[in-house]
Every structure is written in structure tokens, then in C-alpha cells.
């Protein structure tokens, strides 16, 4: 199973974030990143979902990375627990603080998790993809048909982000989840 191999590869790597081995699971919304992250979590990884840190539908850029870096990554680099304030999508505000222990293996999952800023600390960058129509269908099934325009705007924003960051090309592993099962299609991307 791919999750077993990814967990094995990550654990075999030298930690690059203090004592923590960080795996970034990136790719477009609705591609299967959360499913893969859950599989890694079932193998002992601590999982952090960027959906809990975005500042709503326009949160891919802006304060996302500075907050993640200051509140979670920098403390972990020093070997101490981090914490972040969870974004409540219903109220449109930041809510309770969530503690992040110092794990052996941390999976940061979500659009933008494998941006260039993660390169010095990630032991593995994973790209998960699926066709746009399938991703949109998955998103609307989760969020409702009334979220269609929000999804289309997000998809345009993420495409611009991924092009600027060259995310897909920089990832170490690329997976295709269009059929529901993750299949490795490439390996060994250059940084």
C-alpha cells in the first residue's frame, strides 16, 4: 500500500524540523489529500489539516504560512509543542487553540502545504491529483451546490499558486486518485 511506503520513506529520512520528520501532502482541492493523510495518521503520524488554518475561502495566501510557521513549525524545530488557532468556517472567525505535540512524523495536509518555504524542513513532499470535474463534484458533495462559485474561485486561486510555486514539479512523489485508489505515477522530483 502506498501509505505504508510513504510512512517508511519518511521515517527512514533524517529529521529536518528539529526532531520531527515533516511530510507535506499537497495538490488541488478534492484530489484525495485528506484520505491519504488519514492513511498516514493510521500509521502513527500526527496530521495537521490546512483547512483548519485557512482564513476562509481566500486563505490560501496571506497569513496562512506565517501563522503556520510561527505557531507550529518554529516551536517544533526547537523541540517544543506548537499550537494553532482553528478557523471556524461556519462563523468565519478563528476559534479554539489546538495543541500540536512534538511527533516523530508530522503530516501537513492541504493546498499550499508543499510551497517552496517547506523545502528546507520537509523530508517528503507528496502531490495528489485528480481531474478537475471529479474534484469539483467531490467538493460540492461535501459543501453543497451553493458553494459552486466559491469552489471555482478557489480552484483558480490554487492553480495560480501551484504554477507560481511549481508545486507539482517539486514534489518527491506524485499520486493520482482519480479512480479512488492512489497510484504512484512519478518519484524523485528535484528540489
83-112 pLDDT, tens digit per residue, is 999 999 999 999 999 999 999 999 999 999
The reported pTM is 0.93
Residue 44 DSSP SS3? coil
Nearest alpha-carbon partner for 131 in 170, 181, 177 = 177
Q: Confidence band (pLDDT; 50, 70, 90) for 1?
A: confident
- Mean pLDDT (the chain) is 93
Q: How far is CA 52 from the centre of its chain?
A: 11
Instruction: Please calculate the CA angle 35-41-42 and round it to the nearest 5 degrees.
Output: 95
Give the pLDDT mean for 150-161. Answer: 97
Nearest alpha-carbon partner for 123 in 19, 8, 14, 49 = 14
Instruction: Please calculate the CA angle 30-3-128 and round it to the nearest 5 degrees.
Output: 30
Alpha-carbon span 158 to 161, nearest angstrom: 5
Q: Which residues contact 34 (CB under 8 A, 6 or more apart)?
A: 49, 51, 109
Alpha-carbon span 46 to 100, nearest angstrom: 8
Give the pLDDT mean for 11-38. Answer: 97
Which has the minimum average pLDDT: 11-25, 54-68, 170-184?
A: 170-184
Q: What is the pLDDT of residue 110?
A: 98
Q: What is the pLDDT of residue 19?
A: 98
Q: What percent of the chain has pLDDT over 70?
A: 93
Amino acid at each position: 500500500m502506498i501509505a505504508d511506503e510513504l510512512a517508511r520513506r519518511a521515517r527512514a529520512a533524517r529529521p529536518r524540523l528539529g526532531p520531527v520528520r515533516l511530510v507535506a501532502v499537497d495538490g488541488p482541492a478534492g484530489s484525495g489529500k485528506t484520505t491519504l493523510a488519514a492513511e498516514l495518521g493510521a500509521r502513527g503520524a500526527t496530521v495537521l489539516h490546512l483547512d483548519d488554518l485557512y482564513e476562509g475561502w481566500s486563505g490560501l495566501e496571506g497569513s496562512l504560512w506565517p501563522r503556520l510557521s510561527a505557531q507550529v513549525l518554529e516551536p517544533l524545530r526547537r523541540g517544543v509543542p506548537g499550537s494553532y488557532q482553528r478557523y471556524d468556517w461556519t462563523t468565519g472567525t478563528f476559534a479554539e487553540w489546538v495543541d500540536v505535540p512534538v511527533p516523530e512524523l508530522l503530516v501537513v495536509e492541504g493546498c499550499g502545504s508543499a510551497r517552496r518555504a517547506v523545502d528546507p524542513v520537509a523530508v517528503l513532499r507528496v502531490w495528489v491529483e485528480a481531474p478537475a470535474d471529479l474534484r469539483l463534484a467531490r467538493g460540492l458533495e461535501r459543501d453543497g451546490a451553493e458553494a459552486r462559485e466559491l469552489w471555482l474561485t478557489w480552484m483558480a486561486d490554487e492553480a495560480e499558486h501551484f504554477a507560481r510555486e511549481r508545486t507539482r514539479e517539486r514534489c518527491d512523489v506524485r499520486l493520482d486518485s482519480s479512480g479512488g485508489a492512489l497510484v504512484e505515477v512519478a518519484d524523485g522530483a528535484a528540489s
